[in-house]
């Protein structure tokens, strides 16, 4: 907690925390954990992306590009901290509904559209911080969401799984500097799939399809889904995450388990994930560098 917030804490006021919510249920879980930790969540929904369930909390809806409206809301509520949570569809510049606050920052916004997803978020964070809003990581307000070292459920990786995990981790490290996906599926030290713009769920669906159509002729559960951050990735902004969808997709792809970089990947809905993984015979495990 920064010094600037100490006054509010001393006065017994919950310190407000803005959560800019991408799609999915994860922003709500972060809000719940942050509330448990004594923060007062204020949720910012993106029209067309964010789940309407955010309306259970104090909230505001914005359209992509309504940057002025965002800053006005933060200022009105004296919010100094913001978390960016969940997937955001990368918009085309011409799709944005730019308000005056956005036009004033047009040069900064234009720069966001030159690079990959990481560039988009880093640029957005720079704009926020340029206005005196501190961008904090979901894991900073809710560290209990981070994957720990070792197995989470009742199964653990075998020695062969460990070899697949090591190869996938090496592959993902080699891909780091290309600002792209953070996942791969490796089976028997063979790379079956690499994630780029399609995301982890679509990559797992592809593995399931290759098994179903005979392109991959594997008997029984095979391979591991591995997720890591990019080297040097700004974890405050864009920490990789797994959740129930990931476990369900991994089960459909008939992998043996899911391995994530311990302390550097978020696990959404952990209880539900572990129950599903145990039922499907999958391991979920955190691994070290």
**Angle at the Cα of 33 (from 27 to 35), degrees rounded to 5?**
100
3, 78, 107, 219: which one contacts its own copies (CB under 8 A)?
219
| Site stretch for its own copies (CB under 8 A), options 26-34, 37-45, 163-171, 276-284 | 163-171
| Site stretch for its own copies (CB under 8 A), options 1-9, 209-217, 241-249, 273-281 | 209-217
Query: Closer CB to its own copies, residue 25 or residue 194?
Result: 194
Decide: is 191 part of the binding site for its own copies (CB under 8 A).
yes
Q: CB of 107: closest distance to its own copies in angstroms?
A: 18
What b-and-e string marks burial along 106-118, b requiring 16 or more CB atoms within 10 Å of the CB? eeebeebeeeebb
Decide: is 210 part of the binding site for its own copies (CB under 8 A).
yes
- By CB under 8 A, what part of segment 54-93 binds its own copies? 89-92
Half-sphere exposure of 76 (CA within 13 A, CB side): 9
75, 97, 115, 272: which one contacts its own copies (CB under 8 A)?
115
Task: Tell me how far apart the alpha carbons of residues 83 and 125 are, in angstroms, rounded to a whole number.
Answer: 10
Decide: is 212 part of the binding site for its own copies (CB under 8 A).
no
Residues 6+ apart with CB under 8 A from 94: none
| Site stretch for its own copies (CB under 8 A), options 141-149, 181-189, 227-235, 248-256 | 181-189
- By CB under 8 A, what part of segment 7-46 binds its own copies? none
198, 248, 252, 263: which one contacts its own copies (CB under 8 A)?
198
For residue 229, how many other CB atoms are within 10 A of its CB?
18
193, 237, 250, 251: which one contacts its own copies (CB under 8 A)?
193
Task: Tell me how far apart the alpha carbons of residues 204 and 26 are, in angstroms, rounded to a whole number.
Answer: 20
Q: CB of 175: closest distance to its own copies in angstroms?
A: 7
Task: Tell me how far apart the alpha carbons of residues 178 and 114 are, in angstroms, rounded to a whole number.
Answer: 14
- Is residue 150 classed as helix, strand or coil in its secondary structure? strand
For residue 180, how many other CB atoms are within 10 A of its CB?
16
Decide: is 96 part of the binding site for its own copies (CB under 8 A).
no
How many residues does this entry show for the chain?
Answer: 289
Cα 87 to chain centroid, rounded: 7
Q: Which residues in this chain contact its own copies in the complex, by CB under 8 A?
A: 89-92, 94-95, 114-116, 167, 170-171, 174-175, 177-181, 184, 188-199, 202, 206, 210, 214-219
């Amino acid at each position: 907690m920064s010094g600037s917030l100490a006054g509010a804490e001393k006065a017994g006021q919950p310190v407000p925390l803005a959560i800019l919510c991408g799609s999915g249920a994860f922003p709500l879980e972060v809000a719940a954990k942050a509330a448990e930790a004594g923060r007062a969540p204020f949720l910012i929904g993106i029209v067309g992306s964010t789940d309407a369930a955010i309306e259970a909390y104090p909230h505001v809806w914005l359209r992509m590009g309504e940057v002025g409206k965002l800053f006005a809301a933060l200022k009105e509520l004296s919010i100094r901290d913001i978390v960016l949570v969940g997937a955001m569809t990368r918009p085309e510049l011409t799709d944005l509904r730019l308000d005056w606050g956005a036009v004033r920052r047009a040069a900064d916004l234009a720069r966001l559209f030159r690079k990959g997803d990481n560039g988009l978020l880093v640029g957005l964070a720079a704009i926020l911080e340029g206005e005196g809003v501190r961008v904090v990581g979901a894991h900073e307000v809710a560290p209990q969401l981070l994957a720990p070292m070792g197995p989470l459920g009742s199964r653990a990786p075998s020695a062969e799984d460990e070899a697949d995990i090591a190869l996938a981790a090496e592959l993902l490290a080699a891909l780091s500097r290309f600002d792209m996906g953070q996942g791969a599926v490796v089976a028997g030290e063979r790379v079956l799939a690499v994630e780029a713009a399609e995301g982890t769920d679509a990559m797992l669906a592809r593995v399931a399809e290759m098994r179903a159509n005979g392109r991959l002729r594997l008997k029984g559960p095979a391979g591991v889904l591995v997720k890591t951050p990019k080297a040097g990735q700004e974890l405050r902004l864009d920490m990789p995450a797994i959740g129930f969808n990931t476990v369900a997709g991994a089960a459909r792809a008939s992998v043996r388990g899911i391995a994530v970089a311990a302390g550097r990947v978020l696990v959404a809905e952990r209880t539900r994930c572990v129950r599903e993984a145990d039922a499907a015979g999958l391991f979920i495990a955190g691994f070290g560098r």
